Amino acid sequence: MNIINPVVQEYVNKYYRPQNDALNALREECEGKRIPIILKSTETMLSVILKTRSPKRILEIGTAVGYSTIFFANICGQCKITTIERNEESYEEALKNISAFGLEKRVNCLCGDAMEIITTLVQRMKEQNLEPFDFIFIDASKSQYKDFWENTMKLTHDGGLIVCDNVLLKGSTASSQYDVTGRHKTNIKRMREFIEYIKTQECAETYLLSEGDGLTVSIKRNLT
Ligand code: SAM
């Protein structure tokens, strides 16, 4: 079941503006192969956030084949990006795409489990040889969002942003009636717990948006 009115969606998508032809071609290729990349409306929302914020350092959890990574690099012309992908095939494909866009020097693509890599990054930050990230994008295993969010919060500064994608799980976070097959009960339960959790966290001000497949935007607070 599609919870988004398809007529409205089609109308909005008509006004979607790709960054450039090459990125649009990569989107079409990914969509053709059913690789789950950010939706057009999510990309539009992120464009507004990124253009007004101009982050210098970005961390992404869930690279897939690098579509969103390349989009970030394009829209924030000076930024450096660290992106994490655990699937080796996707990682190799991402390296190829990043290189085809000439972005090897600005993108550090890491292959491995995000929680393990985040733990290493937190350690490096404690040892003070890693600068904090200005913008963190979480778009990986939905059942791990709480752990990703809690730990990447340590990797940003006051005022830094953490955006999580797909938090509405095609509407089923709001109502289980949208989980027609009943196969996503665990993910739904975990996502609801995650949203309840971040809404009560003092360390950030969090907004829940229905754009795309649902996004949370958390702004880290100064607690001192
Ligand atoms: N951000 C990408 C884009 O829009 O182009 C799409 C990412 S896709 C939705 C999610 C990716 O996260 C998958 O390729 C999956 O292999 C990866 N992933 C899931 N859990 C992960 C984990 N714990 N550590 C690293 N990567 C993970």
Nearest CA-CA partner of 49 in 166, 223, 224, 207 = 207
Total domains in the fold of the chain: 1
- Binning pLDDT at 50, 70 and 90, where does residue 179 land? confident
- CA–CA gap between residue 134 and residue 120 (Å, rounded): 18
Pocket test for ligand 1, best of 61, 83, 213 (most atoms within 8 A of CB): 61
Per-residue DSSP letter, 171:
G
Nearest CA-CA partner of 126 in 162, 159, 146, 151 = 151
* b/e per residue 101-113 (b: at least 16 CB within 10 A): bebeebbebbbee
Quote the crossing angle between the two packed helices 67-75 and 40-53, to the nearest 10°.
30
Asked whether residue 69 is domain-assigned, the answer is yes
166: three-class secondary structure by DSSP: coil
Asked whether residue 1 is domain-assigned, the answer is no
Asked whether residue 212 is domain-assigned, the answer is yes
- Whole domain around residue 213: which residue ranges? 6-220
Pairing of strands 156-165, 215-220: antiparallel
pTM score, whole prediction: 0.96
The answer to whether the CB of 139 is under 6 A from ligand 1 is yes
Here the CATH number for the domain that contains residue 183 is: 3.40.50.150
Tell me which residue has its CA closest to atom 20 in ligand 1: 141
- Which pLDDT tens digit goes with each residue over 94-139? 999 999 999 999 999 999 999 999 999 999 998 987 899 999 999 9
Residue 223 CA, ligand 1 centroid: distance in Å:
31
The answer to whether the CB of 176 is under 6 A from ligand 1 is no
The answer to whether the CB of 68 is under 6 A from ligand 1 is yes
